[in-house]
Amino acid sequence: MRNKLKEKLKAGKQTVGVWMSIPSPEVGEALATQGGWDWFVYDLEHSPLDEQIVNNIMTSVKGTDVVPLVRVPWNDIVMIKRALDIGAYGVVVPWVNNREEAIRAVRACKYPPEGVRGVGPRRASLGDPTYLATANDEILVIVQIETQEAVDNCEPFSTT
């Protein structure tokens, strides 16, 4: 597994993407094949999409440079692992209010000993014999800071 989006972000490059909420593989395919997009976020929190729909429409980015991400509805280990198992290269986790919640989201994305994700990657590992060995380093975890409590709990960080 190689996450081109994570590579670009680490290099400080700007990325461009689309927030997907239309349950149509044709829409995703039309956008993905036109080129120029770095990522799609499939929104399970505030759209009519669900895990099964995303499982079906995420195939529209296969063979393109688009990196599929899923915004899960909540910081829940089951929702996170299902999003990753169907092939997401990362998750967007809403309503993260403190360090402990952020750590919980990251641990849900990583296999032991770094995390608590169980092995059952279904589509994620198809045709990729390196998936289990590389997923911990390549999965992108984005936490959403959405409340005053979360802002108050943010610590200064360094990019070094």
Residues with active-site annotation = 46
Residues 6+ apart with CB under 8 A from 110: 116, 117, 135, 136, 139
Helix (H, G, I), strand (E, B) or coil at 80: helix
Give 117's DSSP letter: P
Return the structure tokens found at 28. Answer: 């995703």
The residue among 146, 140, 145 whose CA lies nearest residue 70 is 140
The residue among 4, 13, 1 whose CA lies nearest residue 39 is 4
